[in-house]
Amino acid sequence: MRGKPIFENLKKEALVCARCGYCRVDCPVYEGLGWESASPRAKMEITRKLAFHGKLTEKDIARLFQCTLCGQCRETCSARIDTVSVWLEMRRRIAAGEKGPENMRRLAAAIDETGNTAGDAPENRRLWLEAMDDEAVLKRVGQKAELLYFTGCSGALYPQIYGIPQAFTRILTRSGADFTVLGENESCCGFPLAAAGEPERIRKQAEHNVAAAKELGVRTVVTTCPSCFHAWRDFYPEILGGETPFEVLHASQWLAREIAADRLRLGPVEERVTYHDPCDLGRNSGVFEEPRYVLNQIPGLELVEMECSGSDAACCGGGGNLEAVDPALTEVIAEARLREAEATAAKTVVSGCQQCKRTLQGNARRKKIRLRFADITELVDRSMAAYEANQ
Ligand code: SF4
Ligand code: SF4
Contact 38, 66 (CB under 8 A): yes
Pocket test for ligand 1, best of 29, 39, 325, 332 (most atoms within 8 A of CB): 29
Q: Per-residue pLDDT for 253 more than 70?
A: yes
CB 98 within 8 A of CB 209: no
Our mutation pick for probing the ligand 2 site, out of 81, 83, 84, 86, counting the most ligand atoms within 8 A of Cβ, is 81
Mean pLDDT in residue range 78-85:
94
Alpha carbon of 315 to ligand 2 centroid (Å): 19
| Whole-number Å distance between alpha carbons of 211 and 221 | 13
The pLDDT tens digits for 161-203 are 999 999 999 999 999 999 999 999 999 999 999 999 999 999 9
- How far does the centroid of ligand 2 lie from the alpha carbon of residue 47, in Å? 12
| Dihedrals phi, psi of 348, to nearest 5 degrees | -130, 140
What are the residue boundaries of the structural domains of the chain, listed by start?
10-100, 109-258, 265-389
Q: Report which ligand 2 atom has the smallest distance to the Cα of 44.
A: 7
Question: What spacing in Å lies between the alpha carbon of 192 and ligand 2's midpoint?
Answer: 26
What distance in Å separates the CA atoms of residue 378 and residue 170, rounded to the nearest whole number? 10
Asked if domains 109-258 and 265-389 share a fold, the reply is yes
Residue pLDDT, tens place only, 146-164: 999 999 999 999 999 999 9
* Contacts of 242 by beta carbon, 8 Å cutoff, 6+ apart: none
**Strand order, beta sheet including 147-150:** 179-180, 147-150, 220-223, 247-250
Stronger pLDDT, 78 or 1, i.e. the higher one: 78
Ligand 2 near 18 CB (within 6 A):
yes
With a CB cutoff of 8 Å and minimum separation 6, the contacts of 327 are: none
Ligand 1 contacts CB of residue 71 (under 6 A): yes
User: Which ligand has the minimum distance to the alpha carbon of residue 14?
Assistant: 2
Which pLDDT does position 1 carry in this prediction?
42
Which residue has the CA at smallest separation from atom 2 of ligand 2? 77
| Gap from CA of 336 to ligand 2 centroid (Å) | 24
CB of 82 sitting under 6 A from ligand 2: no
Cα(84) to ligand 1 centroid in Å equals 8
Q: Is the CB of 28 under 6 A from ligand 1?
A: yes
CATH architecture type of domain 109-258:
3-Layer(aba) Sandwich (3.40)
CA separation for the pair 125, 185 (Å, rounded): 8
For residue 126, the model assigns a pLDDT of 94
The protein residue whose alpha carbon is closest to atom 6 in ligand 1 is 73
Q: How does pLDDT run across 341-378, given as a tens digit for each residue? A: 999 999 999 999 999 999 999 999 999 999 999 999 99
Answer yes or no: are the C-beta atoms of 255 and 377 closer than 8 Å.
yes
- Domain 265-389 in CATH 3.40.50? The answer is yes
The reported pTM is 0.95
Ligand 1 close to Cβ of residue 155 (< 6 A)? no
Complete DSSP assignment for 341-363:
HHHTT-SEEEES-HHHHHHHHHH
Q: Answer whether residue 8 shows pLDDT above 80.
A: no
Q: 264, 175 in Cβ contact below 8 A?
A: yes
